């Protein structure tokens, strides 16, 4: 079971609600406006030097500081808990994800950018971000998974990724469905 390390949450005022996709509707009768989407408790959560903002179902905004590279164990933190079915270690799942290197600060892989979610069976996949990072999530949830370089790509990162040897990788994963 991975250890969880939490830094204080960063709660950002929701003054700019439009920035997170909320829209207000008003009626001709002058009634108070209502929101067409739920209001998040926070628009950004900071975990182990990684700041993630934006709601599940939309491409996240990910910022990170230099301390994240020092992570030595796989870490997970739910940003949004989700309310659907619970993923187990053997669940076939569909996710959206964004992956960034902690030294390069570069997004090197993203289902959001490709425009299609990623479906997989954990019994046929060896990458820890998905096999160890997704179990325990609920459909509709968003999780940060930090994979130390030695457990990510080690000394041979993918060609063209821009990652350095043993670079720690941050994944932000949305659990879309469990077929």
Give the model confidence (pLDDT) of 105-151 as tens digits.
Answer: 999 999 999 999 999 998 898 889 999 999 999 999 999 999 999 99
Q: Quote the pTM value.
A: 0.75
Distances (CA, A) of 107 to 33, 85, 88, 153: 38, 29, 27, 15
Contacts by 153-160, CB closer than 8 A, 24 or more apart: 158/108
User: For all residues of the chain together, what is the average pLDDT?
Assistant: 79
Question: Is CATH 3.10.50.40 correct for 55-177?
Answer: yes
DSSP string of 66-129, one letter each residue: GGGGG--S-EEEEEE--SSPBP-TT--EEEEEEEEETTT--EEEEHHHHTS-EEE-GGG---HH
Give strand pairing partners of 98. Answer: 110, 172
- Domain edges within the chain: 55-177
């Amino acid at each position: 079971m991975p250890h969880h390390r939490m830094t204080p949450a960063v709660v950002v005022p929701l003054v700019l609600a439009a920035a997170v996709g909320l829209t207000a509707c008003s009626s001709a009768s002058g009634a108070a406006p209502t929101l067409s989407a739920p209001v998040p408790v926070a628009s950004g959560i900071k975990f182990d030097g990684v700041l993630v903002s934006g709601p599940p179902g939309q491409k996240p905004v990910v910022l990170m500081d230099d301390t994240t590279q020092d992570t030595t164990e796989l870490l997970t933190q739910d940003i949004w808990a989700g309310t659907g079915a619970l993923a187990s270690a053997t669940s076939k799942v569909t996710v959206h994800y964004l992956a960034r290197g902690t030294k390069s600060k570069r997004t090197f892989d993203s289902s959001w950018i490709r425009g299609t979610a990623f479906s997989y069976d954990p019994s046929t996949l060896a990458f820890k971000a998905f096999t160890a990072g997704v179990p325990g999530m609920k459909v509709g949830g968003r999780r940060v998974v930090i994979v130390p370089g030695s457990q990510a790509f080690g000394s041979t990162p993918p060609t063209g990724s821009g990652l350095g040897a043993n670079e720690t990788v941050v994944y932000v994963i949305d659990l879309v469905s469990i077929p």
